[in-house]
Chain A
Amino acid sequence: MLAMVSIALQEGDPLGGFRMTWRFANFADVLSKNQEFIVRSLRNGVIVTVVALLLAYPVAYWIAFHGGRRKTFFLFLLLLPFFISFVIRTVSWSFILQDDGIVLGTLKSIGLLPEGSRVLGTTFSVLAGITYNLLPFTILPLYVSLEQIDHRLVEAAKDLYASRAQAFVKVVFPLSLPGVFAAVLLTSIPAIGDYVNASVLGGPGTSMIGNVIQSEFLTTRDYPEAAALAFILMAILLVGAAIYARVLGTERITT
């Protein structure tokens, strides 16, 4: 409990803690200086969330409705990646996508790709990496809400002459919306804050806000700036999250 309360305090803490000059201008400075990174992070977050939802929904749907008795086993397979630290998984991707690595090297030797082409260091590889790392977080809430849907409702819709597509659009999808909301939250927030993918898989020009915070804090040691940035990021996300929590209620997400 104490630890919990102190987190809440710490979130607000970094502001004036180091130099007590109450320089609120810090925020404005930081904001104007890092606008590019903030915008890029938000854009990446949106893309990743949309792609992850589109990729994950069919899988969650299939397991929930057609997984049968092997549901747990499928879920276990989906969570398998969690047994290796995500840094190492990301490193593994960078290894796979090397210019002369397993994928690109093979494609090049067959002649499907021109010699000079590369994936690492591009925005694409960063987005792909973030999406990969967050897919389990997208799929779990989707699965949970789809699993709770009473199959008889779908049958009832079909008895009432709904086609399969209509039954999905009018019955299944609306009922899975709480899961979609939770999935959006659980995917977009870490996606926006991520910096590991951008630094392992990215190159110059793919840095995100997390990279800036990390380097300001650990390399430049400009604590106030890093803290102000972190606070801004938190504030942006909190506003978003608060709207969601209002719509959903927090219990739905935490349980």
Chain B
Amino acid sequence: MAPAQAPARKPRKRWTRFLLPTYTAGFILYLSFPIFVIILFSFNQTRTGFGTAPRVKTTWVGFTTEWYRRLTELPDLTSAVSHSLLIAFLSALAAVALGTFLGLALARYRYRGRSATDFVIFLNISAPEVVLGAALASFFVSLAFPRGMITLFLSHTMFSIPFVAITVRARAAGLDSSLEAAAMDLGAGPIVTFLKVTLPLLFPGILAGFLLAFALSMDDFVISNFVQGPFTMFPTWVFGATRVGIPPHVFAFATLIFLAGVILAVVQLATQRRER
């Protein structure tokens, strides 16, 4: 790879050239280290005593695929995972439906309160999650609305909307609006134009927004913890389990979710690249 600096000066500084790449590699390794550990230890055996539930061991005992076979053994955990998937799917759908229009509006129109909308988006992204969680929970409490699946769905949709809006806005900003004008000239009404021209053109942005919202929802712990009530999610279940010890099934689930996420992301990146 061509060095960015002029090659003529300081040819003796040879070893320092490797300093930054090595550091970067180390950094990336450090960032993904816990993931390797999770994946590795999801294949670890545990010595179970009689009558005690299996817990992950901090030392390597031996290779096994046992936990993948016994994946759905713990009903609480399994339902927590399915809750997470369900909420992630539903809230991502809702966030996409609402966020697309917000993103489009932000990209296209200069309306009164636009900068206010901008600021609220910014606030929502940058506000600490504890505050958001506490605010949402007190909102539901003050309405005497029971916390559970519905509040989770509403909260997750809410915090995903800005991210979808930003993704869609980025896509819409690069869009040629004369295409819409052309469609209108050819006799298409505003609705037909939107469905046949705008929406397909925005689709990659919308899809990226959907995946982002899905990932955010799956990842979220803090807000779920505040608004979930008795409807336990995967991360909150794991958090609760830290006190008593983590069953190995958690690592197996985490590994599967991780792999699914990576595959989805790779597919998404590949389709984006092909488009360009």
Residues of A within 8 A of B (CB): 1, 3-8, 10-11, 13-14, 17-18, 55-56, 58-59, 61-63, 65-66, 68, 72, 74, 76-78, 80-89, 91-96, 98, 100-102, 105, 132, 135-136, 151, 154-155, 158, 164, 185-186, 189-190, 192-196, 200, 209-210, 213-214, 217-218, 223, 226-227, 229-231, 233-234, 237-238, 241, 245, 250-251, 253-255
Residues of B contacting A93 in the complex (Cβ-Cβ under 8 angstroms): 34
Number of inter-chain CB pairs below 8 Å: 255
Given known A-B contacts A4-B121, A78-B31, A237 and B128 have beta carbons under 8 A apart: yes
Of B19-27, B179-187, B194-202, the one contacting chain A is B19-27
Q: By the criterion CB–CB under 8 Å, are A254 and B139 in contact?
A: no
- Residue B120 interfacial (CB < 8 Å): yes
Given known A-B contacts A95-B37, A193-B131, A83 and B257 have beta carbons under 8 A apart: yes
- Residue B138 interfacial (CB < 8 Å): yes
Q: How far is the CA of A66 from the CA of B2 in the complex (A)?
A: 8
- Residue B150 interfacial (CB < 8 Å): no
A136 to chain B, nearest CB (A): 7
User: For window 205-230 of chain B, which residues contact chain A by CB distance below 8 Å?
Assistant: 215, 218-222, 225-226
Q: How far is the CA of A34 from the CA of B123 in the complex (A)?
A: 25
A95 to chain B, nearest CB (A): 6
* The 7 A-B residue pairs with the shortest CB-CB distance in the complex, in nearest-first order: A193-B128, A83-B261, A92-B34, A17-B142, A14-B138, A230-B134, A87-B235
- Residue B193 interfacial (CB < 8 Å): no
Q: By the criterion CB–CB under 8 Å, are A80 and B37 in contact?
A: no
A65 to chain B, nearest CB (A): 5
Q: By the criterion CB–CB under 8 Å, are B226 and A230 in contact?
A: no
Q: By the criterion CB–CB under 8 Å, are B130 and A213 in contact?
A: yes
Q: By the criterion CB–CB under 8 Å, are B235 and A80 in contact?
A: no
Q: By the criterion CB–CB under 8 Å, are A83 and B119 in contact?
A: no
Q: By the criterion CB–CB under 8 Å, are B102 and A61 in contact?
A: no
Q: By the criterion CB–CB under 8 Å, are B37 and A92 in contact?
A: yes
Q: By the criterion CB–CB under 8 Å, are B31 and A80 in contact?
A: yes
User: For window 124-138 of chain B, which residues contact chain A by CB distance below 8 Å?
Assistant: 124-132, 134-138
Of B3-11, B45-53, B65-73, the one contacting chain A is B3-11
A133 to chain B, nearest CB (A): 10
Q: How far is the CA of A217 from the CA of B222 in the complex (A)?
A: 12
Residues of B within 8 A of A (CB): 1, 3-6, 9-10, 20-21, 23-24, 27-28, 30-35, 37-38, 41, 56, 58-59, 98, 101-102, 105, 115, 117-132, 134-139, 141-142, 157-158, 161-162, 166, 169-170, 215, 218-222, 225-226, 234-236, 238-239, 242, 246, 250, 254, 257-258, 261-262, 265, 269
Q: By the criterion CB–CB under 8 Å, are B161 and A85 in contact?
A: no
Residues of B contacting A14 in the complex (Cβ-Cβ under 8 angstroms): 134-135, 138-139, 142
Given known A-B contacts A5-B120, A58-B20, A250-B119, A13 and B31 have beta carbons under 8 A apart: no
Residues of A contacting B38 in the complex (Cβ-Cβ under 8 angstroms): 84, 88-89, 92
Given known A-B contacts A4-B117, A80-B32, A89-B35, A151 and B235 have beta carbons under 8 A apart: no
B134 to chain A, nearest CB (A): 4
Q: By the criterion CB–CB under 8 Å, are B158 and A7 in contact?
A: yes
* Contact of B141 (CB < 8 Å), options: A18, A76, A102: A18
Q: By the criterion CB–CB under 8 Å, are B127 and A189 in contact?
A: yes
Q: By the criterion CB–CB under 8 Å, are B238 and A88 in contact?
A: yes
- List, sorted by A's number, 30 A–B pairs whose CB atoms are closer than 8 Å: A4-B102, A8-B123, A14-B138, A17-B139, A18-B138, A58-B23, A59-B27, A62-B24, A68-B1, A76-B265, A85-B219, A85-B254, A87-B221, A93-B34, A95-B58, A95-B246, A100-B59, A102-B59, A135-B31, A158-B6, A158-B9, A190-B128, A190-B129, A194-B130, A195-B130, A196-B222, A196-B239, A233-B131, A241-B123, A253-B122
